[in-house]
A and B are shown apart, each in its own frame.
Chain A
Amino acid sequence: MRALRRRRLLAGLTLEAGVPLALLALWWTWSTRAGLVFFPPLPDILRSFRETWLAAPASKEVLPSLGRLAVGYATAVLAGVGLGTLLGCSEAARRSADPIVQFLRGIPPPALLPFGILVFGIGDPMKVLMIALVCLWPVLLNTIDGVGGVDPTLRETSRVYGLPLGTRLAYVILPAASPQIVAGARTGLSLAIIMMVISEMVASTNGIGYSILEAQQTFRIPDMWAGILVLGVLGYLLNGLFVLLERRLLRWHRGARAREGV
């Protein structure tokens, strides 16, 4: 019996490792053989990846992009949580803010970009501001929801024991709202990446988005694909980072939810 299970486990692992490898090998051979301009051989792409993106010139493109993303995102999260907490504490404030925020949230990020260019020009500040603007809404909305939805029993416990505001915020309100806030931050992250890329494609002279588009326009196809790969890796890493953070921050939430199901 144990031998069977071990065989199954081995088979499963082989599958999970083998399939991606097989797909890569497939891509390698097909792209090398097919000789299509638009789908260059994988080795060329990888070479371009290594030379253009991992080497020194990379810092000229990758770092500015990441910098703008980081500053914009951090600003949005801080502002969203701060403002959201304030609004979430008052029922009246929530109700009056809701329609405005809901509407602003519905504007797709690309529609806002021309506004940004018109009013703020095409420099770094505009990009950071735009990134912050688009990811503000999900964070804000979710924070308002989370803070407003804190369990009444928890609130009463705070009142009974006379917890001061600072303690209440740090130990009761914000932790209670954190599952919602994290969900909002997750949505915000993907919007931030979108805005980062398109702002660089439309109004920039550096950055990952800019480079990919430029590579396409000057017909350096392997470089274009390498850039796409970079964005893919970036997306993967950021997502993974987020999952790790979420796992740590919300361990209690999973435990408590599991308990409720009992």
Chain B
Amino acid sequence: MRHHPPLLELVGLGKTFGEGPGATQAIAELTFSVQEGELVSVVGPSGCGKTTMLRCVAGLLAPSSGEVRLRGRTVVGPPPEMAFVFQDYSRSLMPWLSVRDNVELPLRHKSRLSRRERRSLVEDAVSSVGLGRFLDRYPWQLSGGMQQRVAIARALAYQPEILLMDEPFASVDAQARADLEDLVLQVQGAYGVTILFVTHDIDEAVYLSDRVVVLTRPPTTVQETVSVELPRPRDQVSTKELPEFARLRAHVFRGIKRQMEVDQGEGAEGHRARLAGHLEASGSTGTPP
């Protein structure tokens, strides 16, 4: 029984795009919370509005109904205690700044820090993602996986209370993805940061999380929340060999598959297409999950 209030709460979050007859209700009603120090993944069928949800949580998009609360306060714009790692790392890092300068950028206006403190924060964060030798390189000189590490380092140096990650490893090759997953675990252990992680990869979700939130297809609600009681520290080989891993994985997979079958019967293609159009119009940057 947890008796301290959750760090993050989604209370009846809803998002509808457009107005009148053409309106699309991407998210009907999402309610769940994230405790401090947890790593919670969000999965669901394609087009279920995972990215939309995350952007509402981040304050980048205003909800149509309900609200998001961070430490009890309603989120109306990007809160300072929150960092975000985008799926498209190449477009979120500044190509004209070195790795060091990119990571330092969000810290510049945190006036409480002296320059020396800033520098050491930056160097620590970059080392913790394993790129200590690349401080003075430029993002375009690095591989995709390394660029995403820089984005993660930037988020870490910022010392957020909560880190949002939007399918961060979807555009990264498989080998790098495994390394990056382990990096997230490692970093979470070291920094104790709370993480809300959106992904379409069920294995990844189960591997990383304390809990997995499974969403329905649009109009989206929470289908169920699966508690992941796998031992930590986790490992790409031994953890995935555990029967419990397979069971959890299958459970989540079946949940999503059931929805997709309902999907096919009801012309959700058109729904998804409309949703995609709305997302583009509202300036969403990620591809709809």
Interface residues, chain A, CB within 8 Å of chain B? 151-154, 156-157, 159-164, 167, 171-172, 175-176, 178, 252-253, 255-256, 258-259
Contact = CB atoms under 8 A, between A and B. Distances in A.
Pairs A-B, 3 closest by C-beta atoms: A161-B106, A153-B91, A256-B95
Contact of A167 (B82, B86, B109): B109
Contacts of B108: 163, 167
Contacts of A258: 140
By secondary structure, the A interface counts as: helix
A172 B94 contact: yes
Contacts of B90: 259
| Residue of A153, A163, A178 with most partner-chain B CB within 10 A | A153
A14 B164 CA distance: 61
Nearest to B286: A153
B91 A154 contact: yes
A162 B78 contact: yes
Contacts of B158: 161
Contact of A153 (B82, B96, B285): B285
Task: Determine the main DSSP class of B at the interface with A.
Answer: loop
A118 B108 CA distance: 52
Nearest to B98: A252
A154 B92 contact: yes
Interface string B215-251: 0000000000000000000000000000000000000
B105 A167 contact: yes
B76 interface: no
B141 interface: yes
B78 A160 contact: yes
A153 B77 CA distance: 16
Given A152-B285, A156-B60, A162 B80 contact: yes
Contacts of A252: 95-96, 138, 140
Interface string B78-112: 10101110101011101111000000011011000
A151 B138 contact: no
22 contacts: A152-B283, A153-B86, A153-B88, A153-B91, A153-B285, A154-B91, A156-B84, A157-B84, A157-B86, A157-B92, A161-B105, A161-B158, A162-B106, A171-B97, A175-B94, A176-B94, A252-B95, A253-B95, A255-B138, A256-B139, A256-B140, A259-B90
A259 B140 contact: yes
B256 interface: no
Interface string B50-87: 00000000101000000000000000011010111010
A151 B95 CA distance: 12
Contacts of B95: 252-253, 255-256
Contacts of B86: 153, 156-157
Contacts of B84: 156-157, 160
A255 to B, nearest CB: 5
Given A161-B106, A162-B106, A178-B96, 4 more contacts: A160-B84, A164-B109, A175-B94, A259-B141
B138 A159 contact: no
B105 A163 contact: yes
B92 A159 contact: no
A258 B138 CA distance: 13
Contact of A163 (B83, B97, B106, B139): B106
B193 to A, nearest CB: 15
